[in-house]
C-alpha cells in the first residue's frame, strides 16, 4: 500500500464525506463560477491539509470527529485553494499540478474574483456557524501568509536575507497554514485547551520541514512540474543558497549575488550556481535542518498513546521529507 493510502486509511470515511461537503461549500448561483469550482475540485491534490485536520481531531478525541471538524477542514481548503489561485496570478503561472491554472483558462480578472469568492465562502462558513475560535485561527494564518510573501519579495530585491529571516519567511509562508490545520483539528474537538497551541507548534515544525524539502527539489532532477533552478531564476533565497553565501569567500559571494541578481535567466550561469551550492555543502546543510524539524515534530507525538491516528501522523511527518515531488 502506498504511503498516502496508509495515511488516509484511518480517516477514509471522513475524507469521502469531507469531499462532498467541500464541494457543497463552493456552490453558487453563478453558472460560470460553478464551472470553475467544478474544474478546481476535479483537479485536487493530495489533500494533505484536511488530512492533518481530521487526524489531529481523531487523535485527541478517541477517534471521533464532529461537524466543526468538517467545517474546519473545509475552511482551510477553501483558503488554501484561494491562495493558490491568487498565487498563479501573481506569479503569472499557467500550470498547476500539470493542469492549466484558472488564470490561464479564464484570465486574471476572473481568477482574482474566484479567489476572492473562495476566501469569502471560507469566512462565511465559520461566521454562519458561530465558529469564531476557528475563524480566529484561519484569519491569523491568512495574515501571516501575506506578510511572509511580502517579506520575501522585499528581501528578493536586496538579496540580503539571513538564515533567521529565511526561517521567518518559510514559517509565515508555508508552515503557518499546516500549523493552522493541526490547530483547527484540535480546536474542533478540544476548544480552549492547551492542545490547540501544542498542535499549532507540531504543524509548524511539519511545515518548516516541508518547505526546506521544496527548496532541495530546486537542486534535483526529479521534481515534476518545477524545472531545476526555478527558485534561482525567481531570485528566491533558499536555505542551500543562503548556506553557500555564508560559507563563501568575499569574491565567490560577490559572484553568487551578481549571478542571482543579474544573470538568473542565463541557463549556463544558473547551472554554475547550482553546482557551487552543491559543492559548498548547501544541500547537506539544508537536509540536516529539515531532519531537525522533522524529529521535533515526531518527538511531540510521543506524548500521546499509540493509535492508528498517531501512526498516520507519524507517516505524514516522514512523508513530508521523503516525498519525491
pLDDT of residue 229: 63
pLDDT value at residue 224: 46
Q: H helices then E strands: how many in the chain? A: 16, 2
Low-confidence residues of the chain: pLDDT under 70: 1, 42, 44-45, 86, 91, 94-98, 157, 221-229, 235, 325
Question: What local confidence, expressed as pLDDT, does residue 98 receive?
Answer: 67
Contact 234, 266 (CB under 8 A): no
Model confidence, pTM: 0.88
Which pLDDT belongs to residue 97?
A: 65
Q: What are the b/e assignments for 67-97, b being 16+ CB within 10 Å?
A: ebbbbbbbbbbbbbbbbbbbbbbeeeeeebe
What pLDDT is attached to residue 1? 67
List pLDDT tens digits, range 188-213. Answer: 999 999 999 999 999 999 999 999 99
The whole-number pLDDT of residue 144 equals: 93
**3-state class (DSSP) for residue 157:** helix
Q: Are 287 and 320 in contact (CB under 8 A)?
A: no
Q: What's the pLDDT at 151? A: 85
305: helix, coil or strand?
coil
Amino acid at each position: 500500500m502506498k504511503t498516502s493510502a496508509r495515511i488516509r486509511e484511518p480517516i477514509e470515511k471522513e475524507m469521502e464525506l469531507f469531499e462532498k461537503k467541500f464541494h457543497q461549500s463552493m456552490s453558487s448561483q453563478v453558472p460560470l463560477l460553478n464551472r470553475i469550482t467544478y474544474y478546481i475540485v476535479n483537479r485536487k491534490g493530495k489533500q494533505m491539509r484536511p488530512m492533518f485536520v481530521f487526524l489531529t481531531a481523531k487523535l485527541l478525541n478517541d477517534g471521533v470527529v464532529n461537524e466543526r471538524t468538517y467545517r474546519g477542514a473545509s475552511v482551510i481548503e477553501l483558503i488554501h485553494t484561494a491562495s493558490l489561485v491568487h498565487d498563479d496570478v501573481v506569479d503569472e503561472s499557467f500550470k498547476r499540478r500539470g493542469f492549466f491554472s484558472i488564470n490561464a483558462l479564464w484570465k486574471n480578472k476572473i481568477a482574482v474574483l474566484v479567489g476572492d469568492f473562495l476566501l469569502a465562502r471560507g469566512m462565511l462558513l465559520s461566521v454562519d456557524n458561530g465558529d469564531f475560535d476557528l475563524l480566529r485561527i484561519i484569519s491569523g494564518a491568512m495574515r501571516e501568509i501575506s506578510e511572509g510573501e511580502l517579506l520575501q519579495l522585499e528581501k528578493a530585491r536586496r538579496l540580503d536575507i539571513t538564515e533567521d529571516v529565511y526561517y521567518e519567511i518559510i514559517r509565515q509562508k508555508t508552515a503557518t497554514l499546516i500549523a493552522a490545520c493541526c490547530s483547527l483539528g484540535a480546536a474542533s474537538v478540544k476548544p480552549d485547551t492547551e492542545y490547540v497551541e501544542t498542535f499549532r507548534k507540531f504543524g509548524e515544525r511539519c511545515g518548516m520541514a516541508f518547505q526546506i524539502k521544496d527548496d532541495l527539489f530546486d537542486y534535483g532532477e526529479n521534481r515534476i512540474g518545477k524545472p531545476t533552478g526555478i527558485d534561482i531564476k525567481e531570485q528566491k533565497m533558499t536555505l542551500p543558497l543562503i548556506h553557500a553565501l555564508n560559507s563563501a569567500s568575499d569574491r565567490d559571494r560577490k559572484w553568487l549575488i551578481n549571478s542571482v541578481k543579474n544573470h538568473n535567466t542565463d541557463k549556463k550561469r544558473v547551472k554554475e550556481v547550482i553546482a557551487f551550492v552543491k559543492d559548498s555543502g548547501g544541500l547537506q546543510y539544508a537536509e540536516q535542518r529539515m531532519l531537525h524539524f522533522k524529529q521535533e515534530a515526531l518527538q511531540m507525538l510521543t506524548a500521546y498513546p499509540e493509535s492508528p491516528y498517531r501512526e498516520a501522523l507519524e507517516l505524514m511527518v516522514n512523508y513530508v521529507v521523503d516525498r519525491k515531488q
